[in-house]
A and B are shown apart, each in its own frame.
Chain A
Amino acid sequence: MSEFDAIVAGSGITGGWAAKELTERGLRVLLIERGPWIEHRKDYTTEFKAPWELPFKGFSDPKVLATTKRIQRNARTDEWTEGMFVDDDVDIYETSPESQFRWIRGYHLGGRSLMWGRHSYRMSPLHFKENARDGHGVPWPFGYEELAPWYDYVERYIGVNGTVAGDLPGLPDGQYQPSMGFSAAEQRLADAIAGHYPDRRLLPGRTANLTQPIGERSVCNNRNQCARGCSFGAYFSTQSSTLPAARATGRLTVHTDSIVDSLEYDAARKRVVGVRVLDARSGAGSVARAKLVFLCTGSINSLGVLLRSGSPTAPGGLGNSSGLLGSYVMDHAFAGIMLTTVPGIDEQMYRGRKPNGIVLPRFVNIQSQETDFLRGYSFQGASGRDSWKRGGHGPGLGAAFKDSLRKPGDWIVGFGIFAECLPRRENQVRVNFARKDKYGLPLMQIDVRWSDNEHKAAAHARREAQAMLGLLGGTLLPSSDELAPPGTAIHEMGGACMGHDPRSTVLNRHNQLHDAPNVFVTDGACMNSCGDRNPSLTYMALTVRAAAHAAQIYKDGAFA
């Protein structure tokens, strides 16, 4: 008999939650993480470094950016944060020339929960209906109302600062701490938009940065450097929140430097009976055993585990009797920032560097189909004063020039676009068994491409953004018209759709594999559609819901 009731693979946002919920519900849990241990506070080694203490003063070694971080740099890394991301020469994968997928990862305890964007928005009721309505992708097996109480639970625990906006058609409200509010430029933009577009409302970003303390986590100190790690515990991460809670139960064991290779399947019992693990340092293999398995290794890696778990009875991978495992993979179509200067408020300033930014929820195709593309997009942005860097990009030298840089420069505010990616069967993740990485694992193949729909949505969004920013009467700054390659939004998801019918879906409505019900997949792989906003809050709500179900049926003897 195993010493563990459950194994949680992956310690990022969803793995941390699964570990917390399962241990708090009485299960003995083994949490497996492929990367090294990062201890809260102690291992945030660059957090308090000044730029003059870094070899490249914060700007990063160009050689590093061109080699080992050539893909990861698209996460807008800097010399403080690049160490949090994987080595592109070691953690390799394949992508087609047409896709150019950017797979951005952090392999360490806490995973990307340490570097995530922290924007926390609920999917809207509309998002759960559109697959069924327009026939793209697989219909969700439940609606928003099913998930709403789990959103409530997660928001209260992680601490999301935000403004209650009255349940906008495109964005439900949640359980919020006091908002970080607007800067003067953001307020000006909000007023301008409200004055011209009655159906649009700019809101302060809703982020998992505390404005009220929770337990030992203190409030945000407005440093806006979260991805270095935060010793104040002021943003939600595995380290600051779920891991301490799980450890406090006395029922958690953590193994780091342990890569999940595949799952051992007992076809007769239709269950997974073991998790094959590789020691990342020695390469030695072992098998961990428990009655339940939660796959939370990040969408693509979780798909990889299942696809590598083929057997004579499951030749295309475990959970793939539908033939759809690895299909309908998505990311948000991300288009670069459009910026404008904001005249007339030069005397206004702000204290601190608030990390929440702004959000403009979806406003197209809400009540009816209005555009030549399906679904919609949202905007996220930020504002600030032009910094000392402007001195390098304009004329001037000498004492007066130096003195001028003591004052803040122009106000600048802008938007980036998150357009919904239609779930399309041909956007796939596969495994190339012919090529292996340094651990001997076959390479992931990622082929996700933008369709005409994403291009049209982004072009529409760009025109609308320019019109809205133009209301401020400033100077619009040059921006790219190109959609960034898939993966750039770092919201890769899908590939293991949920549904009632095992012939057309991979997971049931509780995130259990139809083909092996003691395996739960609760990271982004389970998403049937991606909406137009940051998905982590939804992953968390789905994980908590699944963990509650798993613990209940486990206690009821479902996997005895």
Chain B
Amino acid sequence: MDDDLPTQLSRRAAVGGAVAAFVSLMLAASATARATQQRRYDPRYALVSRLCDLVIPPTDTPGAAQTPAAEFVLLAIDHGMSNLEARSLDLVRESLQSAAGGDFLGLARTRQSELLAALDARAFARSPAPASGSPEFAWQHLKPAIIAGYYTSEIGASRELVYEPVPGPERANFVLTADYRSRSNEDFGGPL
């Protein structure tokens, strides 16, 4: 782009560029929306959604299952984010099925929670460190995706926590109050 181009040409080029950019944005947004919708019909969706629900249940704010967290987890698996593999979910499923003595998703929610809590406790125990390829190791990689999916969703970021895109110029240290809620913006991006 030349700074000294005739105004008319600049305007035409700018309008053309804006239209092209808008069309690409529309196409990208539409592709993302389609992919998100398709993940709801993914056979893995039911289990992942339940895992999300057990980790972050609804309380006075919606839980992870009421957000696109499960879609994000499947996206993370399918794209290998943070070394997640398809077998991570398989290993977790098999472990929970085994502990359930059958259909994990068919159990009562309380029992599901107990079984997942047991896996979670083993996965994050100080020792021994979970072996690579174990369900505990797989859960160590899967859980960050659930958390990230929730706290980067609009509900997790702005209703469960406080979304503060522009804190303002008044920066200050202060003493925490009982009703203080963390700012979701503190740690967007980076590793899961």
Q: CB within 8 Å of B: which residues of A? A: 36-37, 48, 50-52, 55-63, 76, 78-80, 180-181, 183-184, 211, 219-223, 247, 252-257, 346-354, 384-385, 387-389, 391-399, 401-403, 405-408
Contacts and interface: CB of A to CB of B under 8 A. Distances in A.
A176 B2 CA distance: 36
Interface of B: 1-4, 28, 32, 54-57, 59, 63, 68, 72, 75-76, 79-81, 113, 116-117, 120-121, 123-125, 143-149, 151-154, 157-158, 160-161, 163, 165-176, 180-192
A392 B157 contact: no
Nearest to B58: A399
A307 B76 CA distance: 45
Contacts of A183: 173
- Max chain A CB contacts within 10 Å: which of B81, B158, B163, B182? B182
Given A58-B152, A59-B189, A393 B144 contact: yes
Residue among A78, A255, A402 having the largest count of chain B Cβ atoms under 10 Å? A402
Given A57-B72, A354-B171, A407-B181, 20 more contacts: A36-B1, A56-B81, A58-B189, A78-B188, A184-B173, A253-B2, A347-B176, A349-B176, A350-B174, A385-B186, A387-B187, A388-B182, A389-B144, A391-B143, A391-B151, A392-B192, A393-B143, A393-B144, A397-B56, A397-B117
Contact of A401 (B4, B28, B55): B55
Contact of B188 (A58, A181, A346, A352): A58
Contacts of A79: 189
Contact of A221 (B56, B59, B81, B167): B167
Given A221-B169, A385-B186, A59 B148 contact: yes
A181 B59 CA distance: 38
Contacts of B147: 388-389, 391-392
A457 to B, nearest CB: 28
A222 B176 contact: no
B12 to A, nearest CB: 15
The majority secondary structure among interface residues of chain B is: mixed
Given A52-B157, A387-B187, A399 B169 contact: no
A154 B115 CA distance: 63
A79 B182 CA distance: 22
A222 B174 contact: no
Residue from the set A37, A59, A351, A407 with the largest chain B CB neighbour count within 10 Å: A59
Given A223-B167, A347-B176, A407 B182 contact: yes
Given A52-B157, A351-B172, A255 B181 contact: no
Given A180-B171, A254-B3, A255-B3, A392 B186 contact: no
B182 A385 contact: yes
B124 A394 contact: yes
A542 to B, nearest CB: 26
A184 B120 CA distance: 33
B163 A50 contact: yes
A553 to B, nearest CB: 27
Nearest to B182: A408
Contacts of B152: 51-52, 57-59
A78 B117 CA distance: 32
A397 B124 CA distance: 12
Contacts of A219: 169
A75 to B, nearest CB: 12
Contact of A62 (B80, B165, B166, B172): B80
B57 A402 contact: yes
A353 B154 contact: no
Nearest to A234: B169
17 contacts: A51-B188, A52-B68, A52-B153, A76-B190, A222-B167, A253-B4, A255-B2, A257-B1, A347-B175, A348-B176, A349-B175, A392-B146, A394-B124, A395-B121, A398-B113, A399-B59, A407-B181
A180 to B, nearest CB: 6
A402 B182 CA distance: 12
A392 B145 contact: yes
Nearest to A350: B173
Contacts of B148: 57, 59, 389, 392
B186 A387 contact: yes
- Nearest first, the 4 closest Cβ-Cβ pairs linking A and B are A392-B144, A78-B189, A387-B187, A352-B167
A48 B165 contact: yes
B169 A222 contact: yes
Nearest to B177: A349
A328 to B, nearest CB: 35
B192 A389 contact: yes
B175 A353 contact: no
B28 A55 contact: yes
Contacts of B186: 353, 384-385, 387-388
Nearest to A184: B173
Contacts of A247: 3
B157 A349 contact: no
Contacts of B56: 397, 401-402
A351 B144 contact: no
A402 B57 CA distance: 8
A61 B79 contact: yes
A402 B160 contact: yes
Contacts of A399: 57, 59
B180 A407 contact: yes
A299 B73 CA distance: 42
Nearest to B141: A392
A350 B171 contact: yes
B168 A222 contact: yes
A506 to B, nearest CB: 32
Contacts of B146: 392
Given A59-B81, A255-B3, A353 B160 contact: no
A59 B57 CA distance: 24
A207 to B, nearest CB: 13
Given A55-B28, A59-B189, A398-B57, A221 B166 contact: yes
B182 A396 contact: no
Contact of B170 (A80, A352, A401): A352
Nearest to B179: A406
B28 A223 contact: no
B163 A252 contact: no
Nearest to A256: B1
Contacts of B125: 395
Contacts of A51: 152, 157, 188-189
Nearest to A222: B167
A254 B186 CA distance: 38
B185 to A, nearest CB: 7
Contact of B192 (A59, A184, A220, A398): A59
B160 A406 contact: yes
A201 to B, nearest CB: 20
Contacts of B80: 62
A253 B4 CA distance: 7
A389 B54 CA distance: 17
